[in-house]
Amino acid sequence: MKRLEDKVAIITGAARGIGFSIAEMLSEHGATSIIIDLNHEAVDAAVQQIDDMGNRAIGFTADVTNSDEIASIFKEIHKKFGKIDILINNAGITKDGLLMKMKESDWDAVMNVNLKGTFICTQKVCRYMLKSRSGVIINIASVVGIMGNAGQANYAASKGGIIALTKSSAREFASRNIRVNAIAPGFIQTEMTDKLPQEVIDNYSSAIPLSRMGTAKDVANLCIFLASQEAGYITGQTIQVDGGLIM
């Protein structure tokens, strides 16, 4: 039997990158992956790719900062399936820049999508999980939210906020058998990092004890474990997937 057979899993920001890898792997383990992202064509392509593998996925185009939109979609999902078992808060953006030159609009945009979006999705899903007295929420944070990073004050603050939100919501929901954890990826190979000069990639890798960048599947593998009953006694934790970058 697959580890997540018949589970219903929502993954935000899942049309590509880490989010798609998570959605793909959830479906491989028996879950119905519900992909939420901004780009309609990208959502359709992601759903089709999972369907072509013989697994289950559906998609919605939505903005995680729009509370009414998210509430409506979650209501529709619950009406269709009768439950929501798993929420992966993955949607996020970056707008990097030195603090002294950072535009307030860049600060607001990153905080809204990364932190407020995680809050909205958690708040809207918990009403269903609390009633069913079960559920798993996994928030994608970052090692930058733990150690900070020059030129990413807004991103680091948003991810640090996600870690704090994870701990608080885990305490609130534990009595109803809802587990909330965060994953803090390090340097992960994505479409964005593929565009970096090899010298920059080598410099990043040299700072990592395992001497390589991580992959989206490294993050997805941990998601599968945390979503499964094998992690039934783990909540309120932030687990790093960083090759030993920070210890």
| Confidence check: pLDDT of 28 > 80 | yes
Q: First and final CA of the chain: distance in angstroms? A: 36
With respect to residue 247, please indicate whether it lies within any of the assigned structural domains: no
Q: What is the mean pLDDT of the chain?
A: 96
With respect to residue 199, please indicate whether it lies within any of the assigned structural domains: yes
pLDDT of residue 62: 97
Across the range 37-57, mean pLDDT stands at: 97
Counting residues of the chain whose pLDDT is more than 70, the rounded percentage is 98
With respect to residue 2, please indicate whether it lies within any of the assigned structural domains: no
* Residue 41 DSSP code: H
Task: Select from 10, 45, 8 the least CA-distant residue to 30.
Answer: 8
pLDDT of residue 96: 93
With respect to residue 163, please indicate whether it lies within any of the assigned structural domains: yes
The total number of residues shown for the chain amounts to 247
One of 128, 155, 204, 233 is an active-site residue; which one? 155
Contact 151, 96 (CB under 8 A): yes
| Confidence check: pLDDT of 114 > 90 | yes
With respect to residue 117, please indicate whether it lies within any of the assigned structural domains: yes
∠ CA 147-17-8, rounded to 5°: 100
Question: Which secondary-structure segment (H or E) carries 10?
Answer: strand 8-12
Residue tagged 């030159």 (tokens): 101
pLDDT of residue 1: 66
Distance CA 220, CA 226 (A): 10
* Count of domains forming the chain: 1
pLDDT of residue 31: 98
The two beta strands, 8-12 and 178-185, are: unpaired
* Residue 143 DSSP code: T
Express each pLDDT in 174-222 by its tens digit.
999 999 999 999 999 887 677 667 887 888 888 899 999 999 999 999 9
Express each pLDDT in 85-108 by its tens digit.
999 999 999 999 999 999 999 999
Express each pLDDT in 131-152 by its tens digit.
999 999 999 999 999 999 999 9
Counting residues of the chain whose pLDDT is more than 90, the rounded percentage is 91
Express each pLDDT in 8-20 by its tens digit.
999 999 999 999 9
In the chain, the amino acid numbered 48 is Q
pLDDT of residue 191: 77
CATH number at residue 68: 3.40.50.720
pLDDT of residue 192: 67
With respect to residue 28, please indicate whether it lies within any of the assigned structural domains: yes
pLDDT of residue 142: 96
46 pLDDT band (50/70/90 cuts)?
very high
pLDDT of residue 25: 98
pLDDT of residue 184: 98
- Residue span of the structural domain in which 236 resides: 8-241
With respect to residue 3, please indicate whether it lies within any of the assigned structural domains: no
pLDDT of residue 119: 98
With respect to residue 97, please indicate whether it lies within any of the assigned structural domains: yes
- Is residue 233 annotated as part of the catalytic site, yes or no? no
Could you give the residue ranges of the DSSP H alpha helices within the chain?
17-28, 40-52, 67-81, 104-110, 117-132, 144-147, 153-173, 191-194, 198-206, 216-227
DSSP conformation letters of 81-111: HS---EEEE-------B-GGG--HHHHHHHI
